[in-house]
């Protein structure tokens, strides 16, 4: 699960700052803001603290909504949005799997 979260952190600058238009935004401040939003629960997620993982799930929900919107409204960014959706779904599924194992 933590690797999905790390992949999301790595994907934000790639998509938002490095990919050329129209698939990306070429915006360093937007990429920095997206990464900054993901950083607070990172240490807890890495240590497998359940509360931090839940907060991470709330945060990646925002990324999921952005990716769905971009995939729907911007056909050029659809592939990048689908990758972000896949990473978010991977994080959620691993969190659900872990929660079921702990019961």
Which range of residues forms the domain containing residue 12?
Answer: 2-102
By the 10 Å C-beta count (0-12 exposed, 13-18 middle, 19+ buried), 54 is classed as middle
- Split into its structural domains, the chain has a count of 1
Return per-residue pLDDT of the chain as tens, 103 residues: 999 999 999 999 999 999 999 989 999 999 999 999 999 999 999 999 999 999 999 999 999 999 999 999 999 999 999 999 999 999 999 999 999 998 8
Helices 50-73 and 2-13, packing angle to 10 deg? 40
Cβ atoms of residues 103 and 97 within 8 Å: no
Please give the structure tokens belonging to residue 17. 């700052």
Please give the structure tokens belonging to residue 101. 């194992």
Name, in order, each residue with C-beta under 8 angstroms of 62's C-beta and a sequence gap of 6 or more.
37
């Amino acid at each position: 699960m933590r690797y999905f979260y790390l992949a999301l952190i790595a994907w934000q600058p790639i998509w938002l700052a490095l990919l050329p238009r129209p698939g990306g935004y070429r915006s360093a401040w937007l990429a920095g803001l997206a990464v900054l939003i993901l950083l607070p629960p990172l240490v807890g997620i890495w240590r497998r603290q359940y509360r931090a993982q839940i907060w991470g799930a709330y945060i990646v929900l925002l990324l999921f909504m952005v990716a769905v919107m971009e995939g729907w409204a911007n056909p050029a960014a659809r592939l990048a949005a689908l990758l972000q959706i896949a990473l978010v779904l991977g994080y959620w599924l691993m969190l659900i799997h872990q929660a079921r194992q702990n019961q």
